[in-house]
């Protein structure tokens, strides 16, 4: 089974609107970390936000927030007030403490429309 | 520098040649990862170094791929007898360490390898 699933290969959003990028994960470990990265056309992966499995509150970082639903094993990224510079690929990732790997999803391409 | 540095940024080589890709992690980061990203795809884990421990090589696709990390800092990924299917972007990342809950990876800009 896929560790990380991103079901939206491409998304469009109007500038200044909010958008939700979906991510579901699969693990039997009670302790894990969830990450979102942005990859603009320049290629560099940029860390956006982190959610720990034991964190009581949903993570927020500026315009980014993570809608963490533990029972559903989902960790959706919400971007508020979209900007043209938000156009990029977005990757969800998970790390389990028992292993060395970070598991990445296949990504969602976000296009912000002026 | 403050970030992860990779060189070269672009590499064009002929099929059958060997290539070396270099990664200089963030100072103080004990963990180092190599990934491969083919066009339009997600990240494929290749290898992981943690301090002086034996590396986790479970992601290396064939014995033509190898990596080393000297002095716990700079890492070199070597691909021998390159094939056209090796064409991809090779990304390096470093992080503070394995046992931290918030083990954020910081990535370099990658090396774009083209095998003709």
pLDDT digits (tens, 9 = 90+) for B61-104: 999 999 999 887 899 999 999 999 999 999 999 998 765 556 78
Give the pLDDT confidence score for residue B60 in this predicted structure. Answer: 94
Give pLDDT tens digits for B7-63: 999 999 999 999 999 999 999 898 999 999 998 778 999 999 988 888 999 899 999
Q: Which two tokens stand for residue A20?
A: 């939700």
Candidates B93, B102, B110; nearest CB to A50: B102
Give the pLDDT confidence score for residue A96 in this predicted structure. Answer: 84
SS3 annotation, chain A? CCCEECCCCEEEEECCCCEEECCEECCCCCCCEEEEEEECCCCCCEEEEEEECCCCCCCEECCEEEEEECCCCEEEEEECCCCHHHCEEEEEEEECCCCCCEEECCCEEEEEEC
Q: How far apart are CA B33 and CA B6, in angstroms?
A: 12
Q: How far apart are CA A24 and CA A67, in angstroms?
A: 11
Q: Do residue B110 and residue A43 have CB atoms under 8 angstroms apart?
A: yes
Give the pLDDT confidence score for residue B83 in this predicted structure. Answer: 97
Cis check: omega of the bond before B63, within 30 degrees of 0:
no
CB atoms within 10 A of CB A27: 17
pLDDT band at residue A81 using 50, 70 and 90 as cut-offs: very high
Residue B50 at interface with chain A, using a CB cutoff of 8 Å: yes
Q: What percent of chain A stands above pLDDT 70?
A: 97
Average pLDDT on A69-73 reads 95
Residue B1 above 70 pLDDT?
no
Q: Do residue A43 and residue B109 have CB atoms under 8 angstroms apart?
A: yes
Q: Which two tokens stand for residue B69?
A: 């990390």
Give the pLDDT confidence score for residue B40 in this predicted structure. Answer: 74
Q: How far apart are CA A107 and CA A37, in angstroms?
A: 9
């Amino acid at each position: 089974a896929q560790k990380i699933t991103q079901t939206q290969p491409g998304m469009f959003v109007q500038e200044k609107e909010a958008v939700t990028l979906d991510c579901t994960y699969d693990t039997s470990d009670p302790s894990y970390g969830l990450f979102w990265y942005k990859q603009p056309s320049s290629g560099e992966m940029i860390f956006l936000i982190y959610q720990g499995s034991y964190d009581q509150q949903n993570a927020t970082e500026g315009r980014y927030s993570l809608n963490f639903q533990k029972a559903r094993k989902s960790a959706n990224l919400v971007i508020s007030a979209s900007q043209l510079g938000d156009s990029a690929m977005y990757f969800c990732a998970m790390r389990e403490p028992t292993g060395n790997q970070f598991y990445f999803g296949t990504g969602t391409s976000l296009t912000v429309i002026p | 520098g403050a970030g992860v540095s990779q060189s070269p940024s672009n590499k064009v080589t002929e099929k059958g040649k060997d290539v070396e890709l270099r990664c200089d992690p963030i100072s103080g980061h004990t963990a180092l990862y190599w990934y491969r990203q083919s066009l339009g795809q997600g990240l494929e884990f290749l290898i992981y170094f943690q301090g002086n421990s034996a590396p986790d090589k479970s992601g290396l696709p064939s014995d033509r791929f190898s990596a080393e990390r000297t002095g716990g800092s700079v890492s070199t990924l070597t691909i021998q007898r390159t094939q056209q299917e090796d064409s991809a972007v090779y990304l390096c990342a470093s992080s503070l360490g394995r046992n931290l809950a918030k083990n954020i990876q910081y990535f370099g800009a990658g090396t774009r390898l083209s095998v003709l």
